[in-house]
């Protein structure tokens, strides 16, 4: 029997543990009393390698897997003696940077888990779903350019894009509001409030600028601030906003604030803010 691959065989690039032969181009393993021989094609930047697997039974070797598939590992995920091949049929394509949260947007590229069982290599949908839920995210079994994924540069677990991710720690929305602070629109105020998140604490430039701007907005435009805050509290990071007012970074102009505060309609949020302002006054004086 002879076989010729679509590309030249290349070095196995993943960490190939428990290879039963001394080779960097052939990987031999055993699952459920059947030996499997794996070969890896040439790596190109665009695409996963061509992965070919033979089942070595008492009869002639048989090709049981032959497709573009980037192997990540071969292991026994559930300890039942059956090996699984974990990898992906596609590469993530990054298409936008989100520097405000130190991340990139990219395509959805899920892992697939194949079982090496009874001389076959079979896709296991249940294990694929669980593996993605634990190690990536799960939004289906196939690659998609229509599902933008947030990939953090520090290695945190990725997740599907929420439009709010584009606001977090984004100083551009602070600059937008700062230029119209004397007569801001509700849209500008909402854009600004959406930038607050506790993950921004390590971003010193953003944290200091946004905290100062929030206190200026509270002083100059308290009625508009509380109106927008109250209307959209379900999507705002209430605790991060409250924390900035509890411990003001700058001295508040209480005379101007008191004049404008009388124009704020009664609400639970106003009552909460009044207590914070009174506490801040006592601290300052």
What's the rounded Cα separation, in Å, for the pair 5 and 58?
Answer: 23
pLDDT digits (tens, 9 = 90+) for 20-59: 777 777 888 888 888 999 988 877 777 888 899 999 877 7
pLDDT at 115: 94
pLDDT digits (tens, 9 = 90+) for 56-110: 877 778 999 999 999 998 889 988 888 999 999 999 999 888 887 888 999 999 9
What's the rounded Cα separation, in Å, for the pair 181 and 216?
Answer: 8
pLDDT at 55: 92
pLDDT at 10: 65
DSSP 33-49: TEEEEEEEE---SSSPP
pLDDT at 110: 96
pLDDT at 185: 93
Give the percent of the chain with pLDDT over 70.
92
pLDDT at 13 over 70: no
Query: Could you give the C-alpha distances from 140 to 20, 50, 132, 157, in angstroms and in order?
Result: 35, 23, 10, 17
Q: State CA 117 to chain mean position distance.
A: 34
Computed over its alpha carbons, how large is the radius of gyration of the chain? 28
pLDDT at 40: 85
What's the rounded Cα separation, in Å, for the pair 115 and 86?
Answer: 9
pLDDT at 223: 95
pLDDT at 8 over 80: no
pLDDT at 4 over 70: no
pLDDT digits (tens, 9 = 90+) for 181-213: 999 999 999 999 999 998 888 889 999 999 999
pLDDT at 257: 87
* Mean pLDDT, residues 259-282: 88
What's the rounded Cα separation, in Å, for the pair 235 and 193?
Answer: 10
pLDDT at 128: 95
């Amino acid at each position: 029997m002879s076989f010729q691959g679509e590309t030249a065989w290349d070095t196995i690039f993943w960490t190939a543990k428990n290879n039963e032969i001394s080779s960097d181009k052939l990987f031999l393993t055993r699952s459920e009393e059947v030996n499997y021989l794996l070969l890896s094609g040439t790596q190109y930047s665009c695409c996963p390698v061509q992965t070919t697997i033979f089942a070595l039974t008492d009869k002639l070797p048989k090709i049981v897997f032959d497709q573009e598939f980037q192997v990540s590992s071969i292991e026994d995920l559930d300890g039942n003696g059956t090996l699984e091949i974990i990898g992906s049929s596609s590469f993530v394509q990054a298409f936008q940077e989100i520097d405000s949260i130190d991340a990139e947007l990219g395509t959805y590229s899920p892992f697939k888990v194949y079982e090496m069982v009874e001389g076959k290599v079979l896709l296991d949908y249940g294990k694929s779903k669980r593996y993605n839920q634990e190690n990536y995210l799960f939004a289906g079994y196939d690659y998609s350019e229509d599902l933008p994924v947030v990939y953090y540069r520090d290695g945190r677990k990725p997740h599907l894009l929420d439009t709010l991710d584009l606001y977090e720690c984004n100083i551009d929305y602070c600059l937008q509001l700062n230029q119209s602070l004397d007569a801001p629109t509700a849209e500008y105020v909402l854009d600004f409030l959406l930038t607050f998140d506790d993950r921004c604490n390590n971003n010193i430039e953003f944290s200091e600028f946004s905290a100062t701007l929030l206190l200026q907005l509270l002083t100059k435009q308290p009625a508009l601030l509380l109106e927008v805050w109250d209307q959209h509290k379900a999507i705002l990071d209430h605790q991060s906003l409250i924390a900035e007012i509890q411990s003001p970074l700058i001295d508040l102009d209480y005379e101007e604030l008191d004049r404008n505060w009388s124009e704020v309609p009664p609400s639970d949020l106003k009552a909460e803010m009044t207590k914070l302002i009174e506490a801040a006054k006592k601290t300052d004086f």
